[in-house]
Every structure is written in C-alpha cells, then in structure tokens.
C-alpha cells in the first residue's frame, strides 16, 4: 500500500476495498489462525482453557487517546496493554484479544499501519493472539482520527483469589513504579503547554511481573489493580470502598518523577489522579510486604516500586494522605476531569 | 524543583512552628482568644490545606480562608455572559480550566460545552490570540478573569491584538483587584480579623507599597508570603512578632520575588489598556467599590460585552448569604448549613466549593466529617 493513501468511507463499506484492508493489513499483521479462517467468530477450544485454570476472565476497554502517538507508546500499544493489564490484575493469564477499529475518514493509511503493527508486536511479545476484529469508518468529524476497542479473554488458575474486597487492617500498599507518567506525558504531547521534558508514558503489559509475584506469593497478595485514568488515588479509593477500610498513603514514600511533579505544580493538578498505563497497586499482607517489594524491584517492570501506605482501620471507606509534615488529610476523588488552576 | 524543596524542608517547618507557638501563646492569652489571621490568597489556602499546615499550627492561631480565589468570587452574571457568548454560532469561548464548573444562573460552561457550545481550555491568553489567527472566520472570545496577577497578561494580549490588527479576537473582562476588597472587608463591623497573610503573586505585580493604606487606616498588620510551607510560616512568624510588639506594618517575607514597587512594565500595560476603579460585583460579597476594571475606549473594538444582548449586561442576582459570611471570615465553611449536603464539590452552589483554592472546597478536602456527611 502506498504511503500517501488515506482511509475513506469505502474502507468500511463491506466491499472490495474493505476486503483489501483486512487482507493486506489486519490479517497480515495479526497473522492468527482463527482470524485467517474468516469466520464470523473466533473459536477457542475449551479444553485448552480448562487446562489453565478454573475461571474465564473477560474484559473490554476502549481507547480514544489523543495524540495517537506519544513518547513511550501509541494508541495501538495502549489498546493491547490496557486490556491485558485488566486481565492480569485479576490473576488471569491473558490469552486472546479482539480488536475493533472506529476510523475517521481521512486518516493516513501509513499511520493506521504503524498502529496496527504496534498492536501486533505488543500482543506477540505477551504471547497473546488477536483472533477477531471489526472495522468501521465514520465521516470526518464523527470521531477523532481513530478509536480502538479491545476485548480480552484469559484464564485464572484455581489457586488465585484476588479481590478489591480483600484488604485488611495492617496490609501494606505497594505501587510498582512512578505515578502519573502517562498522564503527564500525554498532556505534554498535546503541545499546547509549550513545555518540554524527557518523560515517557509507562505504557506496558504487566503480566510478566504479576505472574512472577503471584507464583511465589499467591496468598500474601490480597488484591492487585492496574492504575489507569483515575490515577492511584482513584484506584485506592475503589479498594477502600470495596473492602470498607481506610488506606493511609505516606506522601514521602510516593514515587513521583520531578518532571511530573513540576507539571502538576505548574497546572495545579494532583499527581495522585494522573493516569498511568503500566502501573499496578498491590495490597499485601504486612508480614510479606518487604519480600514482595524486593522481588518487585528486581523485575524490570517494578524497579521503582515502593511501599506507599497501609490499611489503617476497619469500616470507613476513606483514602488519607499523611503529609511530609505529619499532618493528615482526606484525599477526595475529583468529580470529573481535574481542571488546571488559574494561578 | 530542587530550590523549591528547600522551602519544604520538614525540619525548617517544625522549627518555625515552634517559634510561632512561643510567640503567639502570650498574645492569644492577652487577647483572651486565638489570633485570627486571614490568608487572603486562594493559592495560600490550597497550600495550607494540601500540606496540612493548618493542623500543625498551635491553637493560639486561627487561619481564616479569605476571598482571594478569583474563581470563587466570579459572579453569576459573568458565567451567564460567558455561556451566552459561547453559544453564539461561529464563536469560540476560551477560558482557563477552573471557571468551567462554576454554576451560572442556568448552567455552567461545562454544561454549555456538553450541549454543543464551543469552549476551549487554555493556559495563557496568548493561546487565545493564536487560535484567533488560526480561525480567522470565527470570533474568539477570551474569558479574562483573575486578580492583579493575571491582568497584565490580558493587557499585553489586548495590546498585541490591536497592534497586529487581529479583528476576530475579543475579551470578556471580569478581572478584579485585591486591595479594594481588603478595604471593603475591613470596613465591615462584624469582622474580627487581626491581620493578613498577603498574597505573593498579586504583590509581585502591585508591590509592597500598595498595601500601606491598609495598615495606616485600619492598623492591621500584613505580611506578604510565598507559597511553600517555609514561606508561609516565615510570614506567619513575622506577623506574630508584630502582634507581640504591637507595632503594625506591611512586611515582605517573599522578597526573592516581590519588590517594593512591583512590576512596573506590567502596571504600565494595565494602565494603558484598562480604566481602573470601576465598581464590580463579587459573588458572595455583592458590589465592591472600585474593585473592577473596564477596557479603555481605544481597545473598545476588542471588548466582548459589545457582542452581548442587553439582558446579559444588567442582570441582578442573589447569592447564598452563607457565602458572604464565609468570605468575610465570620462563618467557618464547616458551620455553613449547606456544607457537605446541599453544597459539595460534586454539586457546588457557589464558586467557593468549585476551586481547590476555595475556602469550602479546601476545607471539604481536608475534613473527614465532610465526606461522611
């Protein structure tokens, strides 16, 4: 396909042009047997799933990031990692993905190719197959360049029982790395701030780290959640609510890069509510927290992991922050988007 | 960041708190009540609540969150005007982020955006000018709000627009000045304030000398403070020292940024573009004499109010009476009957609950009772 081609409504109209797009781009890039068979559905042998565990994990997510490319990733990599992470934090081994594309007419075919191959590469690295998909093209102005939906299927081994409702007083809260990297990077990539930094999105698939930790600490890890849009603050508030406990964070222990902190201070944003795309929080039995932390720090995906807080009381669903001066304040989840302050 | 960290050093913070405690206790004993100090600026309120300094200060000092959050005091009719302009076809309203959620009489700018009005968030008025150049067939309206800190950038943008002949750019000016509101507060009988933590950013523009009439007329001390914990505590210490000696003056504890006469080119730009001393409506406080600005006749072609229908220019409004009491320091946010029930950050009744610099939103964030309620 030539470089100057663009996506037109014909690419989604079900005719020859659409077939060409499917054959020459999607089938070639994803190159999976069920996909190549071109049935209306992918068929997954049950026996193969059953051998891996006793529960199917099934999740879906849509990706609408702008810009499509940002330091550390692109919408394709994000669409694969995000859904795989949703499976992995439940203890599931991710196995299959679907990929649905909603494309605004006029999108460069070269860009689409780059994104699709980025998805294929990320899935392959994780040993996951993209086995079914869909393409729609909408008129200009009806979508912002490209939206991707991915649905993931995985299997949870019998021994693993993770839940946001499992946190108990005394448990420690661990994060696997720096908070807010993705949110800060994308804000800068939008290029209306006039700021520059060497920040990169943390966009990554976390299964390799989670699997290694769960293999050795199946029962010491009570809950894992990946940190996305609502930031670490959003995720921990959900855990506090689900377990009916209070979580107290230690401001000094929170891993925040100085660039991220600088951007937040300039705009009046709270890094606790900035997005990540390759970060997880773990609630761990306090007796094993240090061992889990050390193991995490030895893994490339958890080098900057820290113990950032603990579960402090029963029956109140709050998130607290102990400031560096020893004061305590409630951390309230913002109503919607964080809005930059005027001064 | 490294330099800022010096001003966040917990050891210095603890040492300053001890010094303040030692000086403030005898003063409070003499008065028979805690010292009431208003931090005027919303930036200070945010910093104090965020770091928890209010919890660490001795009981001999009570901090009152003041009216210095420009978003909190935006009157309803200002939002209504901005919404009306945003709803005009072929217009794009551009605004800083935090005014978007402030309720108008019908709806907020965010509501208007969801219903199809064109509203863009920007970080600098120069971005609005850039937008005007990119969309020559649309009218770009900049919603100019804020105290003396943000007025110079609006003034310079208007100067550039006129110089460059950008005819599709307009400014909806709701800028206000801080000194007149301090004077108005001090005139009120019911107010019981002992002194002020002066705003850092505003002072950077207007200078230390601008506050002298406050001390001369009302004999209340004012110390200008920066925004890091050490800055704030240093200023508080200087205030307490003044109470101790009972000699009141304007002092500058932010001298690495604020000068005696302020930023002269900024003041010149303001004078060139705006007429000062216009009465302005503040949400919660009503009409504050000589606190507003209007655009000078030579810049009138860029004044967005000329685009508005008459009904948007004369609208009367009534504010919740509680807001005035909170803004003047006579009612603590947590004692307001609406606090945490009828009025929350999710469903704000006024700007005080919208901005993280607002007295009510700041207190809500730090209060466990608020969330349970």
CATH code for position A297? 3.90.650.10
Taking an 8 Å cut-off on Cβ atoms, the answer to whether A341 and B98 are in contact is: yes
Q: In terms of domains, do A320 and A173 share one?
A: yes
- CB–CB of B363/B65 below 8 Å? yes
pLDDT in tens, B81-127: 999 999 999 999 999 988 998 888 888 999 999 999 999 999 889 99
Is residue A3 situated within a structural domain? Answer: no
Higher pLDDT: A335 or B251? It is B251
User: A36 with A146, same domain?
Assistant: yes
A183 and A143 belong to one structural domain: no
Chain A with chain B: Cβ pairs closer than 8 A: 97
Q: From the list A324, A332, A342, which residue is nearest B96 (CB)?
A: A342
Query: In angstroms, what separates the C-alpha of B355 from chain A's closest C-alpha?
Result: 8
Highest mean pLDDT out of A77-81, A332-336, B121-125: A77-81
As a whole number, mean pLDDT of residues B335-340 equals 90
3-state SS of B158-169?
HHHHHHCCCCCE
pLDDT > 70 fraction of chain B, expressed in percent and rounded = 95
- Span A286-292, mean pLDDT? 98
pLDDT for res A340: 67
Structural domain count, chain A: 2
| Closest residue on chain A to B131 (Cα) | A192
Return the pLDDT at B369.
43
Which among A104, A132, A130 has a CA at the least distance from the CA of A119? A130
Q: Is there a domain that residue A193 lies in?
A: yes
Q: Kindly tell me if the per-residue pLDDT of A337 is higher than 80.
A: no
Query: What confidence category does residue A10 fall into, taking pLDDT thresholds of 50, 70 and 90?
Result: very high
pLDDT at B372: 39
Q: Is residue A124 domain-shared with residue A232, that is, in the same domain?
A: no
A308 and A208 belong to one structural domain? yes
**A107 lies in a domain?**
yes
**A339 located within any domain:** no
Backbone angles phi, psi at B218, to 5 degrees: -110, -5
Dist. CA A140–CA B101, nearest whole Å: 30
Residues A182 and A142 in one domain: no
Structural domain contains residue A298: yes
How much is the pLDDT for B360?
87
**pLDDT > 80? residue A2:** no
Express each pLDDT in A159-189 by its tens digit.
Answer: 999 999 999 999 999 999 999 999 999 988 8
The last residue of one of the domains, among A114, A131, A156, is A156
| One domain for residues A193 and A149 | no
Show residues of chain A in contact with B334, CB under 8 Å. Answer: none
ipTM value for the complex: 0.85
Does residue A336 belong to any structural domain of this protein? no
Please give the helix or strand (H or E) that residue A187 lies within, else none.
helix A181-189
Inter-chain CB proximity B56 and A326 less than 8 Å: yes
pLDDT (0 to 100) of residue A191: 66
User: If interface means Cβ-Cβ distance under 8 Å, which residues of chain A face chain B?
Assistant: 192-193, 258, 261-262, 265, 267-268, 316, 318, 323-332, 334-336, 339-343
Q: Which of B106, B73, B108, B74 is nearest to B93 (CA)?
A: B108
In a domain, A342, yes or no: no
Does A171 lie in the same domain as A76? no
Residue range B3-25: mean pLDDT, rounded: 92
Strands (E), B73-218: 91-95, 119-121, 139-146, 169-175, 195-198
Q: Structural domain of residue A290, as residue ranges?
A: 164-330
Nearest CA in chain B to A324: B10
pLDDT interval class at B366 (50, 70, 90): low
Q: Which residues of B touch A66 (CB under 8 A)?
A: none
Q: Do A152 and A170 lie in a common domain? A: no
- A70 within some domain: yes
Tell me, yes or no, whether A235 and A318 share the same domain: yes
Cβ within 8 Å, pair A328-B52: yes
Yes or no: say if B186 and B36 are a contact pair by the CB < 8 Å rule: no
Read off the pLDDT band of B275 (50, 70, 90).
very high
CATH number, residue A131:
3.30.1330.10
Same-domain pairing of A186 and A323:
yes
Among all chains, which residue has been given the structure tokens 């929350």?
B344
Cross-chain residue pair B55–A327, CB shorter than 8 Å: yes
Judge if A24 and A109 occupy the same domain.
Answer: yes
Domains and CATH numbers, chain B: 76-177+264-312 (3.40.50.11740)
Looking at the complex, report in whole angstroms how far the Cα of residue A174 sits from the nearest Cα belonging to chain B.
Answer: 22
* Contact residues, chain B, for A323 at CB < 8 Å: 50-52
């Amino acid at each position: 396909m030539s470089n100057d081609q663009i996506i037109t409504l014909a690419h989604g109209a079900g005719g020859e042009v659409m077939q060409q797009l499917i054959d020459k781009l999607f089938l070639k890039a994803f190159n999976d047997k069920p996909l190549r068979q071109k049935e209306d559905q992918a068929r997954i042998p049950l026996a193969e799933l059953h051998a891996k565990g006793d529960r199917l994990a099934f999740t879906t997510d849509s990706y609408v990031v702008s810009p499509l490319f940002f330091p550390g990733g692109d919408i394709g990599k994000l669409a694969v990692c995000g859904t795989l992470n949703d499976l992995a934090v439940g203890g599931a081994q991710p196995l299959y993905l679907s990929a649905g594309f909603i494309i605004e007419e006029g999108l460069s075919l070269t860009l689409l190719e780059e994104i699709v191959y980025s998805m294929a590469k990320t899935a392959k690295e994780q040993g996951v197959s993209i086995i079914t998909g869909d393409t729609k093209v909408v008129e200009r102005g009806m979508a912002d360049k490209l939206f991707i939906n991915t649905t993931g299927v995985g299997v949870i081994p019998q021994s693993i029982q993770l839940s946001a409702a499992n946190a108990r007083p005394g448990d420690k809260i661990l994060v696997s790395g720096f908070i807010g990297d993705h949110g800060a990077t994308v804000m800068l990539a939008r290029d209306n701030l006039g700021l520059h930094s060497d920040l990169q999105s943390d966009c990554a698939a976390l299964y390799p780290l989670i699997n290694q930790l769960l293999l050795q600490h199946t029962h010491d890890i009570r809950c894992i959640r990946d940190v996305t849009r609502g930031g670490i603050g959003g995720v921990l508030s959900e855990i506090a609510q689900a377990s009916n406990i209070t979580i107290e964070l230690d401001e000094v222990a929170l891993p925040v890069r100085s660039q991220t902190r600088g951007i937040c201070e300039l705009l009046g944003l709270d890094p606790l509510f900035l997005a990540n795309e390759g970060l997880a929080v773990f609630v761990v039995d306090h007796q094993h927290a240090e061992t889990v932390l050390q193991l995490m720090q030895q893994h490339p995906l958890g080098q900057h992991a820290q113990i950032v807080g603990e579960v402090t009381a029963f029956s109140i669903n709050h998130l607290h922050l102990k400031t560096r001066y020893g004061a305590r304040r409630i951390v309230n989840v913002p109503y919607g988007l964080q809005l930059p302050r005027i001064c | 960041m490294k330099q800022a960290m010096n001003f966040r050093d917990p050891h210095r913070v603890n040492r300053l708190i001890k010094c303040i405690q030692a000086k403030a206790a005898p003063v409070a004993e003499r008065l028979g009540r805690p010292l009431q100090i208003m931090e005027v600026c919303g930036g200070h309120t945010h910093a104090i609540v965020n770091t928890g300094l209010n919890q660490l200060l001795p009981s001999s000092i009570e901090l009152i969150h003041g009216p210095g959050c420009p978003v909190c005091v935006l009157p309803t009719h200002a939002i209504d005007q901005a919404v009306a302009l945003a709803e005009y076809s072929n217009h794009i309203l551009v605004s800083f982020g935090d005014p978007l959620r402030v309720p108008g009489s019908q709806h907020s700018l965010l509501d208007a955006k969801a219903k199809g009005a064109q509203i863009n968030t920007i970080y600098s008025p120069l971005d609005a000018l850039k937008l005007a150049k990119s969309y020559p067939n649309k009218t770009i309206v900049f919603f100019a709000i804020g105290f003396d800190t943000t007025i110079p950038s609006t003034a310079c943008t208007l100067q550039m627009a006129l110089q460059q002949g950008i005819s599709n750019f307009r400014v909806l000016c709701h800028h206000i000045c801080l000194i007149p509101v301090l004077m108005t507060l001090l005139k009120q009988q019911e107010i019981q304030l002992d002194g002020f933590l002066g705003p850092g950013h505003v002072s950077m523009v207007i200078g230390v000398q601008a506050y002298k009439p406050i001390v001369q007329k009302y004999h209340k001390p004012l110390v200008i403070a920066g925004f890091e914990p050490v800055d704030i505590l240093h200023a508080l210490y200087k205030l307490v020292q003044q109470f101790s000696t009972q000699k009141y003056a304007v002092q500058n504890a932010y001298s690495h940024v604020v000068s005696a006469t302020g930023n002269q080119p900024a003041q010149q730009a303001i004078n060139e573009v705006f007429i000062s001393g216009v009465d302005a409506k503040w949400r919660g406080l009503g009409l504050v004499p000589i606190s507003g600005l209007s655009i000078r006749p030579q810049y009138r072609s860029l004044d967005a109010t000329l685009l508005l229908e008459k009904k948007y220019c004369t609208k009367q409004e009534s504010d919740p009476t509680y807001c005035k009491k909170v803004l003047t320091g006579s009612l603590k946010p947590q004692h307001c009957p609406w606090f945490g029930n009828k009025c929350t950050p999710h469903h704000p009744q006024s700007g005080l609950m919208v901005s993280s610099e607002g007295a009510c939103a700041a207190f809500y964030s730090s209060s466990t009772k608020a969330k349970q309620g």
